[in-house]
Structure 1
Amino acid sequence: MSNYYNKSDHLFLLIKTLSKSEKINFKIYVNRIKKNKNSKFMKLFNIMSKINSYNEKKILDSTTISKVQLSNIKAHLYKQILVSLKLQETNKENHDIQIREYLDFAKILYNKGLYIQSLKFLEKAKIIARSYEFKTILLELVEFEKMIESQHITRSLYSRSGELSAESKELIERVQCNNALSNLSLELYGLYLKVGYVRNEKDKIFIETYFRTNLPKFDIKKISFYEKLFLYQAQVWYHFIRQDFIMCYRSSYKWIELFKNNRKAKRIAPVSYLKGYHYLLDTLFYLNHYSKFTYIFNQFENEVKNGEILINGNTRILIFMYTYTNRINKHYMEGNFSEGVKKIIPSLFTDFKKICNHLDSHYIMILYYKIACLYFGSGDNNNAIRYLSKVMENKKKNLRQDLQCSARLLHLIACYESGLDENMDQKIQSAYKFFIQMDDWYIVQKKIIHFFKNLGNVYPHQIKSQFKKLKDKLIKYYDHPYEKRTFLYLDIISWINSKIENKSVETIIKEKFIRNKISENY
């Protein structure tokens, strides 16, 4: 699952994202000027459309472009493609682009001294901006209108100036609240990506204080769609970091309901809608609420299948990630790991090749870890080690430290299970150093590392009793406010039970699922 495209060449990546219709429209746009048909930048476009990987030598050999010219021609082609795409996007449901076009027209007309005509375009733009709650753009439009009204006699200035002043003041208040909530949401998300869940009382106090002091005052009945969206997002990440999954479920459910009550928002902000689904499903997974999880996941897949979610470059990536991670999660919950490997992995790899150049390190790391767990549960420890190694090789140590720590624990377990324990001391030492480096050296990690460290001194007939002792030590931390986060990523208790009962991990988790399902039905 390597990256098939050279990420360093932006033009090549842009061309590879173009659909068939976008390429046709680009050629129509360029060929409106006859001399462009045989231009060097069009020859460059044609050759780059055909090749599967960026190869400068092949490009130069296949065209009359010299090496000196290549950089400038690429820059020109890049700009022409963006202009063509902008013209195509203006005709779609991209209302913010349409507003910007009206604003551009208004400024052109203003510069020509045609103030009344300029104001008409501003009014058209304002109608769209109000309709779709684009508060920041609306404020810009009002400020431009104020400037025209203050400098030029266009109509009844006295009454209009009062209206514009009041509108501007109200918008500034709304934009300030919106910005405060969006900043809080973004910063909490950044903390979650960096550290994951709270690790101790100090972390808990910090995140609670941070949330409380940065949450602006608001009236929930008066705030707009986007203000509510940022509020629910901030709440979700806040509760996620605190591992309060009940509250996280409530906030993520409100997030989804917000879109369902504002159906046009699903077309305007599809990325936020998909993320809401993701956190709702993630929460249900951690709560181990199988029936609700499958209901919501079926609902999500049906909306994708029925075209209820706008498909573009961004949503295509998220749909891929959320579909496959939740399909894997479903098999985790059921304990059907072997079935998951057969049903999911082949199509996952096929789809991954199509979008691999668009996935960031965070998504790729999550995907590798999920795949590794699926293989581990199926008993394929060699493939589990292979994908855990990819997570461990990630150079961004400040990204999802909790996930990277869990990968190292599972790596030790998989190496032990596969019999690749000849360098076990070195692997244990490496994991230990990483935990210290990440400031993630807590009780559960200590006990697991200590267990593996001493396992070499245990006689074969004593191993089962050692696993029983380990289980007794760990089980008391299963619901611990901070220590339990290790169990969210790694069902180590089921692995220990498999060693005690001489059963596969898959059998143990499947039996647990059946018991939970019976109790859930009562």
Structure 2
Amino acid sequence: MNARRSEGDNNYVRLFDFIDKQASNQGNYDEDAVKEYFKGEKFIKQLHVLKSYLYGTILRSLRLYNSEKSKVNELHGLLRDVDILFHKSLYGQCKKLLNKAKKIALTHEKYTQLLEIIDMEKAIARAEAYTKRTEEDLDNIYYEVNDAVEKIRNINDFWRLSTKSFFLRKKYGNIRDSEELNKFNELMKNPLLKSEDKATTYFSKNFYYNIKGLFYLTKGDYENLLRYSNKLVEFLEANPGMMRSNNYLAALNNLLIVQMETKKYIDAMVSIKKIRAIEPESKTMRAQMFIISYDNEMNLYLLTGEFQKGVKLAKEIEKGLKEFSGRIDQESEILFYYNIAYIYFGAGDYEKSLEWINKILNKKEFRLREDIQIYSRLLNLFVHYEIGNYDLLEYEIKSARRFFDSHNYLNEFEKIILSFLNKLIFATDEEVKIDLYNDLKYKLSKRSKEVRENRIMEYFDIDSWLDSKIEKKSFSSIIGNKAINK
């Protein structure tokens, strides 16, 4: 923020610096803290006036910053200059600026502004009584207008198809029957969606790849979804002059989700590195890049049993959580806590795992999703078992049962797990323990078609934990072997 260093301006700068530091540390504005910090200062009595002025100054600075970045604003500026020169009859200078503007408009597909530029060319031709234009020149102007209008129509048509596909996805989610599939198939029969060549502009092609991706996502066809997610990323990378960083981040995020879903872990790491190499447009975008890349890399190590790599990553995540405090949503923060707890569990550092679980269980102000509530409490019980806290575990089992029951989470799956642990803490003979492990494996296999329970098992692989006990192998080696053989 630029400011002259008069006494009054110094007050604005001091206020801005304090609020900025407050936002970085706390994530929100605390007016009482502002008044306390500047207590005794004359200007604080007019805090509402200072805030209003500061707000306006920041907006003006942002307008200036964004106007320098926006090609549309640059074109509007050139057209204003042309208008001034035109009214002074300086047509030669007008033409130079219009040529510059036309190159920008064509390069960046600003076809609406291109029509304004061509209108100015027509006006100059009329003002010069068509003496400096050939008939061929005027024909070219006609064709340029037609071409720009066609490009605008093409973008608009693909935008319409994009919104229709979005609302079909929103209405039906994943397709469950042939009637729902038919509605999406009808949309996909549109001639414009037969080939990407029908999309004649950068923006149209962007819409095309997104529509295709959304269709295959809704259909559950991950092979084709992966293909079109890759196509979109490759298309954006081939057009760096047009690409916005936030659009590229969104495309890489979608590709990364599909790569993780289809077990393309090597490709997923490539996407993660690409995300971290993006030049962020804002602090908020930097925080998004942190969440997307580190969450997915941590999940990758959890799914492949590479827990020691995950432990190293956990230390980087800790630093990031502090750096981006106030810019990370609560749900993402809690998921980081859980994944770090799980990574330490897999690495055999149960005390450290418990430390991170307690961060979740002690966050009373957080309104957690049902699934996170369940994962955290189940993992907590298994950590206590591994530590050997059998007396405390008996209490924790009762506490978990009360919690599940009071929140209507006590389903058959939870009952089976709690019953198993209750028996396990009193089993001293190894053969009895093996029988209990095998019994639980059998019961879980009978419930393998339950979607809700499979989701829980994705976040805590109880089946692999049981195998590690039965086969007397490490938890990480069991998960690693399963990942290789899938």
The answer to whether the superposition gives a TM-score over 0.5 is: yes
Q: Distance in 1 between matches of 2:454 and 2:218?
A: 13
Q: Distance in 2 between matches of 1:331 and 1:282?
A: 15
The alignment status of 1:174 with 2:174, answered yes or no, reads: no
The alignment status of 1:349 with 2:329, answered yes or no, reads: no
Q: Distance in 2 between matches of 1:101 and 1:160?
A: 25
> 1:44 — aligned with what?
15
Q: Distance in 1 between matches of 2:217 and 2:333?
A: 21
Query: Given the alignment, which residue of 270, 281, 302 partners 1:332?
Result: 302
Root mean square deviation, CA, Å? 4.5
Task: Report deviation, 1:74.
Answer: 2.1
Task: Report deviation, 1:346.
Answer: 2.6
After superposition, give the CA deviation of every residue in 1:399-437 in whole Å (9 maximum; x if it has no partner): xxxxx343233234223322221323212324535x9xx
Unpaired segments ≥5 residues, structure 2: 385-392
After superposition, give the CA deviation of every residue in 1:332-352 in whole Å (9 maximum; x if it has no partner): 1342325523x1223212222
Query: Given the alignment, which residue of 75, 81, 85 partners 2:52?
Result: 75
SS in 2 for 1:356: coil
Larger CA deviation: 108-117 vs 362-371: 108-117
SS in 2 for 1:312: coil
SS in 1 for 2:326: helix
Task: Report deviation, 1:291.
Answer: 4.0
> 1:491 — aligned with what?
461
Query: Given the alignment, which residue of 373, 376, 380 partners 1:408?
Result: 373
The alignment status of 1:317 with 2:307, answered yes or no, reads: no
The alignment status of 1:261 with 2:238, answered yes or no, reads: yes
Task: Report deviation, 1:186.
Answer: 6.0
Task: Report deviation, 1:123.
Answer: 6.2
The alignment status of 1:102 with 2:75, answered yes or no, reads: yes
The alignment status of 1:278 with 2:278, answered yes or no, reads: no
Q: Distance in 1 between matches of 2:376 and 2:21?
A: 41
Structure 1 residues 189 and 77: alpha-carbon distance in aligned structure 2, compared to 1, 3 A threshold: farther
Q: Distance in 1 between matches of 2:219 and 2:460?
A: 18
Q: Distance in 2 between matches of 1:90 and 1:170?
A: 28
Q: Distance in 1 between matches of 2:48 and 2:95?
A: 42
> 1:439 — aligned with what?
none
Once the two structures are superposed, the pairs formed by residues 244-255 of structure 1 within 5 Å of their partners are: 244-255=221-232
Considering Cα pairs closer than 8 Å and 6+ residues apart, tell me whether 1 or 2 has the greater RCO: 1
The alignment status of 1:382 with 2:354, answered yes or no, reads: yes
Structure 1 residues 468 and 240: alpha-carbon distance in aligned structure 2, compared to 1, 3 A threshold: farther
SS in 2 for 1:221: helix
Q: TM (normalized to structure 2)?
A: 0.72
Q: Distance in 2 between matches of 1:106 and 1:390?
A: 60
Q: Distance in 1 between matches of 2:15 and 2:48?
A: 11
Q: Distance in 2 between matches of 1:502 and 1:483?
A: 25
> 2:388 — aligned with what?
none
Q: What amino acid sits opposite 1:408 in the alignment?
A: Q
* Structure with the greater alpha carbon radius of gyration: 2
Q: Distance in 2 between matches of 1:233 and 1:319?
A: 21
Structure 1 residues 186 and 282: alpha-carbon distance in aligned structure 2, compared to 1, 3 A threshold: same
After superposition, give the CA deviation of every residue in 1:175-229 in whole Å (9 maximum; x if it has no partner): 32342355367668978xxx9x85x936x975x4664465563341131333333
> 2:39 — aligned with what?
61
Equivalent residues of 1:337, 1:377 under 8 A apart: yes
Q: Distance in 2 between matches of 1:359 and 1:205?
A: 40
After superposition, give the CA deviation of every residue in 1:9-34 in whole Å (9 maximum; x if it has no partner): xxxxxxxxxxxxxxxxx32xx33xx8
> 2:389 — aligned with what?
none
Q: Distance in 1 between matches of 2:377 and 2:81?
A: 66
Q: What amino acid sits opposite 1:173 in the alignment?
A: R
SS in 2 for 1:357: coil
Task: Report deviation, 1:256.
Answer: 2.1
> 1:424 — aligned with what?
400
Q: How many residues align?
A: 445
Q: TM (normalized to structure 1)?
A: 0.68
Structure 1 residues 361 and 50: alpha-carbon distance in aligned structure 2, compared to 1, 3 A threshold: closer
Structure 1 residues 471 and 106: alpha-carbon distance in aligned structure 2, compared to 1, 3 A threshold: same
Q: Distance in 2 between matches of 1:475 and 1:212?
A: 36
Structure 1 residues 112 and 358: alpha-carbon distance in aligned structure 2, compared to 1, 3 A threshold: farther
> 1:13 — aligned with what?
none
Structure 1 residues 213 and 449: alpha-carbon distance in aligned structure 2, compared to 1, 3 A threshold: farther
Unpaired segments ≥5 residues, structure 1: 1-25, 398-403, 436-445
Query: Among the aligned pairs, what percent are the same residue?
Result: 21
Q: Distance in 2 between matches of 1:424 and 1:319?
A: 35
> 1:511 — aligned with what?
478
Q: What amino acid sits opposite 2:313 in the alignment?
A: I
Q: Distance in 2 between matches of 1:100 and 1:169?
A: 21
Equivalent residues of 1:143, 1:168 under 8 A apart: no
Once the two structures are superposed, the pairs formed by residues 105-504 of structure 1 within 5 Å of their partners are: 106=79, 114=87, 124-134=100-110, 138-139=111-112, 142=115, 154=127, 162-163=142-143, 166-167=146-147, 169-180=149-160, 182-183=162-163, 198=174, 201=176, 208=181, 211-212=184-185, 217-218=192-193, 219-223=195-199, 224-236=201-213, 239-240=216-217, 244-265=221-242, 268-294=243-269, 296-297=270-271, 300-301=272-273, 303=274, 309-313=278-282, 314-341=284-311, 343-361=312-330, 363-379=332-348, 380=350, 381-386=353-358, 388-389=360-361, 394-395=366-367, 404-417=369-382, 418=384, 419=393, 420-430=396-406, 432-433=408-409, 446-452=411-417, 454-455=419-420, 458=423, 460-461=426-427, 464-475=434-445, 485-501=455-471
Q: Distance in 2 between matches of 1:469 and 1:493?
A: 11
Equivalent residues of 2:308, 2:347 under 8 A apart: yes
